[in-house]
Amino acid sequence: MTTEFNREAYSKTFEDLERFKYFCSTAWLYGHNGYVFDEKNLYNEKSRAWQAYQRYVNGGKRKHNNSGRYASNRRS
């Protein structure tokens, strides 16, 4: 019994892993608080680090929560 080796899938996975690792190590340069690199967060949509990485890759902006201590309840 032989296992089919898909070189493109392996290459894409390891390239994504290296890019994610680089993002986690330099996230504070982009205005993030910083993220701990963990391989299990790769492709995990529930992970905050992966979500931030996806926003960074797709050119999105950071989410700013305006419901802080001094937020106003008045409508604009």
Q: Please indicate whether residue 13 or residue 32 has the higher confidence score (pLDDT).
A: 13
pLDDT band with cut points at 50, 70 and 90 for residue 73? low
From residue 54, alpha-carbon distances to 3, 24, 57, 68, 75 in Å are 32, 12, 5, 25, 31
> Where exactly are the structural domains of the chain?
25-60
> pTM for the complete prediction?
0.71
Q: Please indicate whether residue 1 or residue 33 has the higher confidence score (pLDDT).
A: 33
pLDDT at 31: 82
**Residue whose structure tokens are 């797709």:** 58
Residues in the chain: 76
Dump pLDDT digits (tens) for 29-67.
Answer: 878 888 999 999 999 999 999 999 999 899 876 666 666
